[in-house]
Amino acid sequence: MEIVIIGMGKLGFKLAETLASTSNNITVVDLNETALSRVANRLDVLPIKGNGVQLKLLEELDLKKRDLVAAVTSNDETNLLICRLAKELGCKRVVARVRNPEYANQIEFFKERLGIDFITNPEQDTALDVARYVLRGYTAHMESFAGGKVGLFDVPMLSLPALVGKRLRDAELFEEILVAAISRGGQVIVPSGDTHLEEQDILYLIGRRENVTSFTKGLSLLGERHTTRKTMILGGGKAGFYLANRLLASGIMVKVIEQSAERCDYLAENLKGAMVICGDGTDLDLLQDEGLGEMDALVSLTGNDEENLMLALLGKQQGVPKVVAKVSRSNFVPIIEQLGIDRAVNPVLISAGEIVRFVQGGQIASLSLLFGGQAEVVEIIVPEDAPVVGRKLAQAKVPRGLIVGAIVREGQVFIPNGNSVIEGQDRVILFCLQREISAVEQLFYPKRRGFWHELWSSGSGFRKPPTR
């Protein structure tokens, strides 16, 4: 697939990183040489220095031959204009990042009138992700796939002291559940039967939803069933605004603490029913005065990762049942685990996952980027002519970093083994390390032609747009 990504900020880089791992030809465009150098040094992409709204540059990119243009610069209007121009120049599909809440009710208009195929809003996507967790009855974290039939759950080994030091193959507790991955010191391990379990490990279990739920309930991992009635949001930016709106619509009492007086005026005017407090969210006295310890959920969405982690930890110390922190840096993953924060969200990873799912079309039913993007959980509808169809998994040359966690066929869930055979139209839930993403395409997608294998060397300098 021929893909152009315009804008090499955090989202653009993560999108390029994810899509370049498969057999796509990726061209990236940005005016910032530092950003281009970063992506060129790390990824197999073609970097071009230029302004994405310049018609001349877009014409020279020969967009009629491109399958996708993703406009993910920091400016909404720029992204909308790029997409419109790209569509006029013959690009098959276009994607835009649009973040301004004032545009939220105009998305369908943009799609229809400007010809934009998909619009992503990282802050809104993050808010929806957090809202689903906050509104869920249990306090612990579970991902669902295949319409809720398959569950992915993380279990700390501290809850399984009898298994510490044992090999995974000797852990009889997991007969109906697959250990898809182990998080150890912030690194992801795809285990084998000979992997020894260590005290500080966090296990990621996948299986039938009812089996995973029963297992975790037996260990008291789901915690007590807890209805959320009151939520405190620290940070009234875009994500905080979207989240407050969603919770208010669900009948939740919402209290937002924001430091900017100007922003508080906006929130008070546009969040009908919310209590908006103008103050410093790091002020412990203020938080206690506003009833932090009485909250059912605390969500820290400030622009500072360290501040969000500190506030989330404070919430846990005050006994808040559900605590969520926004983080932008993947190196905070091990810190989050050690602090015992219930959930961390990364807008870039969430939005990149949404775009990748759109790019791949109907074959990907859902996609989650985990561990700061080190791994993915992908739900794929297997094409009839995929190379893996009709072969036993033991004979399919599945790499070590790829786990087939579950197969859903005609509504029935199967936990596979080496003798399992995948059929066309099966829903398959895969756990995959970043380095093995290309194997997913090789095994689960029909063979394609025209792969681009040219390696880019940053020492050659930035290339000019190709001429027609």
Q: Which domains does the chain have, with CATH numbers?
A: 2-121 (3.40.50.720), 142-218 (3.30.70.1450), 230-341 (3.40.50.720), 349-444 (3.30.70.1450)
Q: Distance between CA 357 and CA 355 in Å, rounded?
A: 5
pLDDT for res 368: 65
pLDDT for res 253: 96
Contacts of residue 251, defined as CB under 8 A and 6 or more positions apart, other chains included, come to none
Q: Distance between CA 340 and CA 317 in Å, rounded?
A: 10
pLDDT for res 287: 94
Q: 56 φ, ψ to 5°? A: -60, -45
pLDDT for res 91: 96
Q: Distance between CA 86 and CA 94 in Å, rounded?
A: 7
Average pLDDT per consecutive 10 residues, the chain (468 residues; last block may be shorter): 94 90 86 93 93 94 95 96 96 94 87 92 91 70 76 79 87 77 81 88 84 70 67 96 94 96 95 94 92 94 92 92 87 68 85 84 60 75 90 87 89 88 91 78 65 33 44
pLDDT for res 462: 45
pLDDT for res 141: 59
pLDDT for res 452: 30
Q: What is the pTM of this model?
A: 0.72
pLDDT for res 455: 31
pLDDT for res 334: 59
Angle between helices 10-20 and 33-42 (to 10 degrees): 20
pLDDT for res 330: 66
pLDDT for res 140: 52
pLDDT for res 80: 96
pLDDT for res 362: 53
Residues 63-75 as b/e (b if ≥16 CB within 10 A, e otherwise) read beebebbbbbbee
Q: Which residues pair with 277 in a beta bridge?
A: 257
pLDDT for res 192: 85
pLDDT for res 180: 86
